[in-house]
Structure 1
Amino acid sequence: MSKFKFTQKNEEEFQRLEKKYPNSDAMMLPGLWLVQEQEGWVSPDAMIYMADRLSKTPIEVHSFATFYTMFNLKPIGTYHIELCKTLSCMIMGAPELKKFIKDTIGIEPGQTSEDGKFHFTEVECQGACGGAPMIALNNTYHENMTIDKLKNIIEECKNEC
């Protein structure tokens, strides 16, 4: 039995989505997205919950969640910085942004800051080549990123908590 449970709002959204998607395979992605939006990651308990809800085995849900890199399989920081690492962003300054994140927050890709505020991930193309380099911060895209812009974003995040 899973300890995870959707909030009332997410339960309503799950039920709405079930009407939209015809079968449990099609429902897996939106269901896991709801889990991650609620918790910030997809825990083993949440996978068991989704397996029960979708008439799947926990290993089927786990296989799905581990196949897609956008699912966090462990807790991450409050602010998730995703830096694009593909060609356009690399040419336009992503390596300098990566170094700035390491020097400022003290974390490498895949790490969470000691205070739990920031998690840093390098990701494949986010579809913003014309606005390279870019980051996503908690799924909000920021194009034409510079060190000064990133410094301001980080400071705003630090001041919010």
Structure 2
Amino acid sequence: MSHARSEYGNFRALTPDVHDVVLGLGQLAAKSGLDKQLLELVKLRASQINGCAFCVHYHILQGESLGIAADKLNLVVVWREAPQFSPRERAALAWTEALTNLSGGVSDEVFAQASAEFSETELAYLTSAVASINVWNRYGAAYRWTPPARPKTSVNAAAS
């Protein structure tokens, strides 16, 4: 069993400037008008690839709070085989994987798929969202941040 080397709160306290810059980069995509549910799927997929338990759990909770169906959240890891994803979501997830696994570069096919679903501006903001979550994943995985607890209000709301 691995243990936390440090926690998210420690990172935030030690480097508030870095925290705010990375947070701000991620928020720009949502402010640009990109769908918040789509962005959560992207952040979840990158976090799965990078093995960041904190970020995977965090983005599952965020996705739930935005109304993403549980089956869709559960199937992000196998999105190619699951019918729940729209062509736009599939393009965003393929783009996310290509940018997260840069060893093979970004193929012309993935670029064409993403360009068919997103305007140039949207794709630039989507890229900033993928870049941001990859930065968060580096911190979360390196320091083994403890995944966040489910808010008590979510548990109570689900029970009613």
Q: Which structure's CA Rg is the greater one?
A: 1
Global fold match (TM > 0.5):
no
More helix by share: 2
Higher strand residue share = 1
TM-score (norm 2): 0.29
Query: Bigger relative contact order, structure 1 or 2, given CA contacts below 8 A and separation 6+?
Result: 2
